[in-house]
Structure 1
Amino acid sequence: MFADIHFIDFLRANPALAVFVTLALGFLVGKLRWRSFSLGTVTSVLLVGVVVGQLKIEIPEPAKTLFFLLFLFSVGYAVGPQFFRGLKRDGLPQVGFAVVVCLLCLGSTWLCATLMGYDVAQAAGLLAGSQTMSAVLGVATDTIRQLPDGQAIDLDAMPVCYAVTYIFGTAGSAWILGTLGPRLLGGVEKVHKAALDLESKLGDDVSFTAGFDPAARAIVFRAYKAENDWFGQRHTVAEFERYMQSQKKLIFVERLRQRGRIADDVTPRTTIYPGDTLVVSGRRQYVIEEEDWIGTEVEDAELTNFSVQSLPVVVSKRGAAGQYVRNILKRKEMHGVNIRSILRAGVKIPVLAGGKLDAGDRLELVGLPQDVRRAAPTLGFSDPVSEKTGMPLVGLGIFLGGLLFGWLLMTRIGAVPLSLTVSGGVLIAGLFCGWLHARYPHVGNIPQPTLWFMNNVGLNTFIAIVGISTGPTFIQGFQEVGWSLFLIGAAATSIPLVAGIFIGRYLFRFNDALTLGCVAGARTTTAALGAVEETIQSNVPSMGYTITYAIGNTLLIIWGVVIVLLIA
């Protein structure tokens, strides 16, 4: 007993250790799955924090705010390029759709909270959990503290409502969009056909096609014997590649073995003779088809033993952003280079000839080192430019964003102060800094590992402190809100999703597969996007996810301010 008391006193004197053990256990529990169900990291960290909080450990307030602001800035920084990209003409329909769905999220939550007579803390927790937007907890707290009697309002019910409603907010969203959604649109087969139709319209140049294991490499290098009579006319490398393009197959000649010797320098003017061995590169589904046309595939270890470089490049050049993939690949500088994948706002989207590149897209270029190094500067900059983080931009961005929107732009409606709060200001600053970096890559670089740390560790540290701080009153708060809260949360989750499906189809007239991706993006639920893609066996929905995700991530966080003002 003496040792136990000693241990508890030690943790109370060193609350930082309690936070770290909460993070460790929360991340471990978050990885556990039962069939397709998982609590997820954020909910697990909160619940572990509640258990640790039974020891009545007090954590200084600035620690929670510090990590929360780092998280908000990283969110804005990551989606900034897509947020401003959506404001262009071709992105406006998806922006408008995301705004409508976000308004439905706010409206359904406000309606449910009003009908149940919830106070501002309970309503904010309901919004955060049912719409799976954990950041609402911090933004709403800031707003409540600014109310005339805000310091007297008990906030312990907020994380309780969040924890109860978050489970269905996550799992329910995945079920509604992944299982119910296709049925509401006419069935899985119909939505799958809509995805194929869109792929065909944009150019059948996908990374993976039906019949191929997704673990297979998208870009391959294979050796063939030039046996077709076509080679008897002594065509050049350039003529061969142009012929392949006329067959809608982007294939490059990388190396040649002629008369038993490997050619030192293969250029577009190099002549291909009958019996030569060609090493060709291109997308897997195209290259493996060429044995019937070029000739027999051969194994030539010496010829195929050469270095191939895979280089991540972030699109930032004006001549590349907004251009079709097919036009990019036709450029002289791109000769011998393939685009293996495109990552947009953290989401992998299909590589389609008719798809457009956006500023901030992260491409994976594959080819011979000299070819990749030649192509990269024409598209943008290799990432990371530096392993160092541009802390002046991060620090000033957080400071000026909080100062501008949390203080200088504050106004009042009667006795109620009205502003985006410091939290909302930091989010807006992150959006601007992310866009600025995409335009000027040497300004304020934040490497991907650092961004991950700011986002995941920032949010979960904030959630851990919330759980530890409210732990002693959590059970009492759960008894006060009652089990009915779970059903109310399910209603607040379902209404915007179901309505969004029909609005996307009949009002905005989106492609059915794209509609499901747009709804998932506006609700910022990546789990639901994965469920949709698994159900319809296509990654086309991801094309509707990125812009709507950027808008949804911004508005749903700001709704933390709005819900408090509506209820108050």
Structure 2
Amino acid sequence: MNWLHHTFQEYPELAIFLTLAAGFYIGNIRVGKFSLGSVTGVLLMGVLVGQMNIAISANVKAVFFLLFLFAVGYSVGPQFFRGLKKDGLPQVLFAVLMCLVCLVAPWLLSLMMGYNVGQAAGLIAGSQTISAVMGVAADTINQVNISADQKQMLINSMPVCYAVSYIFGTAGSAWLLSSMAPLMLGGIDKVRAACKELEKTMGAGDPTQDPGMRSAFIQVTFRAYMIGPQSIATGKSVQQLEAELLQRDHRLFVERIRKTDKKIIEATPDYIIQRGDEIVLSGRREFILGEEQGIGAEIADVDLLNFPVENVMVFVTNKNVVGKTIRDLRTKEFMHGIPIQSIKRAGIFMPVYPDTILEKGDYMELVGYKKDMERAMAQIGYGDIPTDKTDMVFVGAGIVLGGLVGAMSMKVGGVPLSLSTSGGALIMGLVFGWLRAVHPTFGRIPEPALWVMNNVGLNTFIAVVGITAGPSFVAGFKEVGWSLFVVGIAATTLPLLVGVLMGKYIFKFHPALILGCTAGARTTTAALSAIQEEVQSKLPALGYTITYAVGNTLLIIWGVVIVLLMT
């Protein structure tokens, strides 16, 4: 054990990876629906490993923290700036007001309990589940004119309050918004009914609105059939057959044809289908299965079905598509043969209903024949072809520019203050994320790489925080006592309840939007999932993305503000 202890002290990088591995493991352990989550797991393991008095350079956590903050800004940038437009302003204002409550409630509770600056920052970070507050607050504390020992004492006190208040901050938020909030809106049955009613107005499940949009996630299939004498396709043109199928609420497309002379051709609208032809139909599985008897006998033909089909994420950028509904899009000629699988906005899957409105920066997943896909991509925006390469020129330049802007300081009451390099990286991430949405030909960060920047970046920072604070963690906990858990409950609950009441009485949002906006402003994705499961609808996601972008930005900046308020 002495050898192991000495090795970790000599090679602190090994201690970091030990903390990450063990932290992710215990963070993923579930008891019912509850789990600590990777961040809390890593922090607690960091505190445990830190008992070995391991010294780690502050530059390590700074590098990973900047990666994390830039990734956060990059992810929400399009929605952040989109929210500044007229139709998004109510949600932006809601998020700003709620974020102010998320700041004021922990601040007042900290004053009441006599907490120091570090403890107050930790309370905000944990109760509002925004771990990055600790990094930004630490950067700001380092600018305050106090001794180095005092700075380190304040910084080390943050993880204590964070760890204790984070538990209810995560689990409590999901419970409050999925169980208690619907009661404040008239009861779960009333909220579910309101969601179903809104879904109907948006065309969900109504084949008369748009026969091709019953579900966003049903698998598209390609199948081959032999045209017999009794087939409904015999003697009809491709265009006539597709129109007849559409009248039956079955949106199917003829993709390829093997003629009786065994020659395989691409389907054209005016081609007359003959007895003995073999055709390939594309569409959702249940529609094709419903037409098997009418079309003809299914055949397994490798040559006929062996053609390139693409599954592509398309960046919505074309001004002729932005602001249009899915119903409008489906009427366009360029969408022939192209089913819409899903729409992703700020990393959140949107409900795909006929009246769902497309926004700039949306990721639309399309599936189709290669020639059709190319035509559709050209009209919708930019095809985000899968790649494993990250534009590191873009990422590096963004972090450097953000850091330089954040390093600029101004004096407030004689104290030099700035956004700090971390705050600057966040702001520049927002700008660069918006630039990527406007000009998607550069600045690509593949989703797996973005996950690493977000999760490994944040958790490495948290690991170093936990290891550094480990020796003083127990003493810090004794100082604040178990009352901190109750204070954390209050700091979590008050903003959420205020958010629901604001949405209902001031903004008069739809119940689904109230729940989604409240979860978004508090940046709690786990709560959004719980809400959607409870109300049996995907609609709350419509209120999540803009408020999430605003909340993710303001709550992190509160790390600077809380230091100013407490000093």
Tell whether the structures are fold-level matches, with TM greater than 0.5. yes
SS at match of 1:141: helix
Distance in structure 1 (CA, Å) of the matches to 2:15 and 2:385 = 34
Q: Judge conservation of contact 1:170–1:525 (CA < 8 Å) in 2.
A: yes
Cα pair 1:80 1:433 within 8 Å, conserved: yes
Q: Distance in 2 between matches of 1:430 and 1:342?
A: 23
Q: What residue is the counterpart of 1:161 in the other structure?
A: 161
**Could you say what secondary structure the match of 1:392 adopts?**
helix
The answer on whether the counterparts of 2:419 and 2:560 sit within 8 Å (CA) in structure 1 is yes
Structure 1 window deviating more from structure 2 (356-365 vs 433-442): it is 356-365
Please report how far the alpha carbon of residue 302 of structure 1 lies from its aligned counterpart in structure 2 after TM superposition: 2.0
Matches within 5 A, 1:20-99: 20-99=17-96
Residues 225 and 295 of structure 1 are in contact (CA less than 8 Å); yes or no, is this contact kept in structure 2?
Answer: no
SS at match of 2:35: coil
Alignment-mate amino acid for residue 190 of structure 2? K
- Identify the residue that residue 125 of structure 1 maps to in structure 2: 122
Deviation at 1:289, TM superposition (A): 5.1
Aligned CA distance change for structure 1 residues 262 and 103 (closer, same or farther; 3 Å): farther
Aligned-residue offset at 1:406: 2.8
Greater mean alpha carbon deviation, residues 260-269 or residues 348-357: 260-269
Q: Which residue of 1 aligns with 2:183?
A: 183
Give the partner amino acid of 1:390.
D
Aligned AA (2:353): L
Which whole-Å CA distance do the structure 2 matches of 1:94 and 1:243 have between them?
Answer: 44
Separation in 2, partners of 1:226, 1:96: 60
| 1:211 counterpart residue number | none
Structure 1 residue 349 displacement after superposition: 1.2
The answer for the alignment partner of 2:506 in structure 1 is 507
1:67-101 CA distances to partner (integer Å, 9 max, x unpaired)?
10110001101111111111122222221221122
Kindly provide the amino acid, as one letter, of the partner of residue 524 in structure 2: T
Partner Cα distance (1:230, 1:510) in 2: 52
Measured after TM superposition, the shift of residue 412 of structure 1 is: 2.3
Answering whether residue 193 of structure 2 is matched by residue 193 of structure 1, we say yes
Q: CA deviation at 1:222?
A: 5.3
Q: Spell out, residue by residue over 1:151-209, the C-alpha distance to the aligned partner (whole angstroms, 9 max, x if none).
A: 423222100000000000000001011122222222222222222222222222699xx
Aligned residue identity for 2:3:
H
Gap change, CA 1:289 and 1:386, over 3 Å in 2: closer
CA RMSD of aligned residues (A): 2.8
**Kept in 1: contact 2:216–2:341 (CA 8 A):** no
| CA offset digits 1:298-346 (Å, max 9, x no partner) | 4322287344321222223333333322222222222111111111111
State the Cα distance separating 1:130 from its structure 2 match: 0.2
Give the equivalent residue in structure 1 for 2:97.
100
Task: State the identity as a percent.
Answer: 51
The one-letter amino acid paired with 1:9 is H
Structure 1: distance between partners of 2:508 and 2:244: 38
Matches within 5 A, 1:287-302: 287=288, 290=291, 295=294, 298-302=297-301
Equivalent runs, 1:299-338 vs 2, <5 Å: 299-302=298-301, 305-307=305-307, 308-338=309-339
**Residues 228, 296 of structure 2: 8 Å contact kept:** no
Other structure's SS at 1:342 match = strand
Deviations 1:449-484 (A, max 9, x none): 221111111100000000000001111111111111
CA distance in 2, matches of 1:470, 1:281: 59
Show the counterpart of 2:537.
538
Aligned AA (1:353): P
- Return the alpha-carbon distance in structure 2 between the equivalents of residues 89 and 142 of structure 1: 35
Letter in 1 for 2:193: K
SS of residue matched to 1:163: helix
User: Counterpart amino acid of 1:58?
Assistant: A
- Are 2:236 and 2:273, in contact at CA under 8 Å, matched by a contact in 1? yes
Q: What is the identity, as a one-letter code, of the residue corresponding to 1:198?
A: L
Partner of 1:401: 402
One-letter amino acid of the counterpart of residue 453, structure 2: M
Q: Which amino acid aligns with 1:473?
A: S
Which residue type is aligned with residue 447 of structure 1?
Answer: P
Is 2:261 the counterpart of 1:264? no
Q: Which residue of 2 aligns with 1:428?
A: 427
Offset at 1:541?
A: 1.2
In 1: Cα distance, 2:128 partner to 2:388 partner: 35
SS in 1 for 2:390: coil
Please list the CA deviations of residues 44-77 of structure 1 after superposition, one character each: whole Å capped at 9, or x if unmatched. Answer: 0000011100000000111111110110001101
Which residue in the other structure is 1:345 paired with? 346
Instruction: Please state whether the residue corresponding to 2:36 is helix, strand or coil.
Output: coil
1:376 & 1:165 partners in 2: Cα distance?
47
State the secondary structure of the residue aligned to 2:361.
coil
Task: List alignment gaps of at least 5 residues for structure 2.
Answer: 208-214
Cross-structure match for 1:210: none
CA distance change for structure 1 residues 150 and 539 in 2, over 3 Å: closer, same or farther?
Answer: farther
Distance 1:306 1:537, change over 3 A: farther
Distance (Å, rounded) in 2 between the aligned partners of 1:312 and 1:352: 18
Cα separation, 1, equivalents of 2:132 and 2:371: 45
Three-state SS of the structure 2 residue aligned to 1:146 is coil
Letter in 2 for 1:90: D
Quick one: which amino acid aligns to residue 264 of structure 1?
A: I
Normalising by structure 2, report the TM-score. 0.91
Q: Which amino acid aligns with 2:73?
A: G
Paired with 1:431 and 1:206, the residues of 2 have a C-alpha distance of 38
| Higher mean displacement: 150-159 or 40-49 | 150-159
Please tell me whether the aligned partners of residues 252 and 282 of structure 1 are also in contact (alpha carbons under 8 angstroms). Answer: yes
Cα 1:181–1:221 shift into 2, 3 Å: farther
Q: What is the aligned partner in structure 2 of residue 365 from structure 1?
A: 366
AA of the residue aligned to 2:413 = G
> Counterpart of 1:281?
282
3-state DSSP of counterpart to 2:282: strand
Q: For residue 504 of structure 1, report the CA deviation from its aligned partner.
A: 1.5
Deviates more, 1:434-443 or 1:483-492: 434-443
Partner of 1:379: 380
1:203 paired residue number: 203
- Does the 8 A contact of 2:227 with 2:296 survive in 1? no
CA contact (8 A) 1:224 1:295 kept: no
Relative to structure 2, which stretch is displaced further, 235-244 or 65-74? 235-244
Task: Provide the secondary structure at the position in 2 that maps to 1:363.
Answer: strand
| Alignment-derived partner of residue 552 in structure 1 | 551
Inter-CA distance 6–263: structure 2 relative to 1 (3 Å threshold): closer
Within a 5 Å distance, the mapping from 1:402-421 to structure 2 comes to 402-407=403-408, 410-421=409-420
1:57 match: secondary structure:
coil
Counterpart-to-counterpart distance in 1, 2:501 and 2:289: 42
Cα separation, 2, equivalents of 1:398 and 1:232? 60
Alignment of 1:422-461 (within 5 A): 422-461=421-460
